Structure formats: structure tokens, C-alpha cells
Amino acid sequence: MIDNTAAKPGSRYRMSPPGSLNTAATSRIRALFSDPSPAAITLEVIAACAIASVLPLRHWPRSALITLVTALAVVLANACVRVVIGKRLPRWSVQVDVTLGNLFVSAIAAAGASAHVDLANLYLLLEVFALLYLPLRSALCHLGAAGIAYAIVLSIGPPTGEAPIISWLSVFGTAIALGAVVIGLVSVLRNVAREDPLTGLANRRMWDERFEEEMERSARSGAALSIIMVDIDSFKAVNDAGGHEAGDRLLQEIARAWEGVVRDGGDFLARLGGDEFGLLASGCDEIGAQALAGRLARSLPQGTSASIGAATWDRSENASDLLRRADRAMYRSKRNHRRGTGPSAA
């Protein structure tokens, strides 16, 4: 990731993780739920507590008791494994955990039915976990497999006191409704995490991710890649004269104007912070980058000017070096702006 600090000529560039959190508490919460391994540990501990809590409440048949104790031991063992080596496990191990989880919940649900204890709601924990950390198609496949497994449990297991279809719908009707809510929330949160709320453009985090993706794509395909850095001139004076609301309105006007200038499918425009913007131009060489920078400058609201710098990847530098060249070009443009030289290239 590119450093979030605004670049200055000659400044040191470094790669850093996107964003920062305000408190240690929120940082710990984010660390817990942004990584599937700690989240899996949490889910497994909750499941273990649910199983352990029902063991002393009933006189369990021997086979059901063995099933529950075995499931409890396996869940705790898997949680311990993830505590020790969770960070080194491959991403696909999450798929294995969800698959095994569905099998164990099915076994637990069957065992619980023998003593009229409903443990099938543990399917809901698995569903939420799968929707948060797996691709949507994979998560839905796991949900479908769980639904089939529970239908089999209800059809061949002991009676639960109500019609099997009612028992199934009580769990998976809830699962479907809960899944829809989780999918909606995940979609909203992903958009919020990558969108600048003021202008509606991509934010710095999304820029960093897309920058790396475009460099990898360009390296594979051999297509040209240019970046354009823009800093609005005298933006502080706008805020001082009209307040921050005036500055916000200006940034929104600029974003709307530039959305009509960038090329569909080839350009990626982002607000990097304050009055700084960046544009990734895939398939755009040095001449094309200069022409695009000129169009950005000409489309600014009346009475507004900007310092614009462009750089085309030389196919040997890293992301920080390419960004540094574009930033230096932007600052040359700022120094030369009064002379009327316009956008600069590096």
C-alpha cells in the first residue's frame, strides 16, 4: 500500500497499511473480525460453550453423549490449532472449516434431537461466518449443503415433537433472512470502506489496492500505465473565505466534472485526501497522459486551477517510485503554474 501522508518533493516514500483507527479497543475488534482465523476461533469457542452448556441438562443416551463430547473435543482442538498456527494456514483452510462445521452441526443436531434439545441453530453461526469470509457463491453452496444435511437429519433421526418441515423452516427460514441481511451489510461496508463520502469517488484505500492491481496487470499484458496526480490550487483560501462548506462544494463540483472526462473502463479516479486527487490511466502512454491531464485542467469549475503532474511507468520502477515521479511532476507544475506551463510529465 502507498503511504497516506501527502508527498512532498524529495520526501521518503514507504509502503504502509491503509487507514488508521481511533482507539485501541476498536483496533482490537477490527483485528478480530477482519481476519477469518481469529473469527473462526471465536465461533468455535461459542459453539463449544453451546455444546457444553447442554450436557448437564439432560440424561443423554450413550450414543448421543459420545457424539456431543467428541464434537466438543474436536471443536476445541481445532480452535487451539488456529490459535497456534492460524496465521500460517492458507486461505482455503476456511473452506475446510466450514465444511467440517456443517458436518459436525448436523451430527450434533441429530444427537440433540434424541433428548429434545435443539442444537440446529448452530447452523446460523456457520452461515454468518461463511458469508463474511468466503466468496458469495461458496457461502451459498455451503448454506445449501447445510440445508440438505439438516433435511436428512430430520428425515432419519428421532422425532422432534413437531413436523420435520416446520423444524427445517424454523432454522433455514431464519438462515435465509439472516443471510440476506448479512449480504446487504457486507456490501454496504465494503463500499463505505472504499468510497470517499464527500465526493463519491474511490478513497485512498481503494486507490492503493487498484494501483497494485493495475501495475500487476500492466506487467502481465505489456500495456502502458500512467498515473496523474492533482492538487487544487489555493484550496485553503477557499476554505478561509467561505468556510469548509464552500471547500466541500468545490470538491464535489470538481469530482462531478472529472467523472465526465475520464475514459470509461480505462481510468480510475480517486480522492486521496484533502484537495489531492489521483487518476490511474490503464493503457495510456505519456502522450495520452498529457492529453488527459489537459482535459482535467480544462474541465475545472470556472475560477479554479490545479497543479497536475503525470508519469508513465517505465516497467522497472516500483509503485512508490512511480508515484514519486508523478508527485514531483505535480510540484513542478505548482512551481511553474504562474508561468502558464500547465501540466507536467516525468
- Work out the number of other CB atoms within 10 angstroms of the CB of residue 24: 8
Give the range among 1-15, 28-42, 113-127, 141-155 with minimum mean pLDDT.
1-15
pLDDT class of 191 with cuts at 50, 70, 90: low
CA distance 208 to 18: 8
Question: Is the pLDDT at 39 greater than 90, yes or no?
Answer: no
Report helix, strand or coil for 13.
coil
CA distance 153 to 105: 10
pLDDT class of 20 with cuts at 50, 70, 90: very low
CA distance 129 to 107: 19
Q: At what angle do helices 204-221 and 319-336 cross, to 10 degrees?
A: 110
Beta carbons within 8 Å of 19's beta carbon, 6+ residues apart = 4, 205
Strand ranges inside the chain, DSSP E: 225-232, 267-273, 276-282, 306-312, 344-345
pLDDT tens digits, one per residue of 100-129: 899 989 999 888 887 778 888 899 989 989
* Strand pairing category for 306-312 and 344-345: parallel
pLDDT score recorded for residue 225 = 94
pLDDT class of 335 with cuts at 50, 70, 90: confident
pLDDT tens digits, one per residue of 227-277: 999 999 989 889 888 888 999 999 999 999 998 888 777 799 999 988 999
Question: Is the pLDDT at 320 greater than 70, yes or no?
Answer: yes
pLDDT class of 346 with cuts at 50, 70, 90: low
Q: Which domains does the chain have, with CATH numbers?
A: 24-194 (no CATH), 204-345 (3.30.70.270)
% of the chain with per-residue pLDDT over 70: 85
Which position has the higher pLDDT, 24 or 209?
209
CA distance 217 to 220: 5
pLDDT tens digits, one per residue of 55-99: 887 788 888 899 999 999 999 998 999 888 887 888 788 898 899
Q: Which helix (H) or strand (E) covers residue 170, if one does?
A: helix 164-194
Quick one: how far is CA 160 from the chain centroid?
A: 41
CA atoms within 13 A on the CB side of 145: 18
Strand partners, 269: 279
pLDDT score recorded for residue 117 = 81
pLDDT score recorded for residue 24 = 55
Question: Is the pLDDT at 14 greater than 50, yes or no?
Answer: no
Question: Is the pLDDT at 337 greater than 50, yes or no?
Answer: yes
**H-helix segments, 55-163:** 62-85, 93-113, 122-133, 136-156
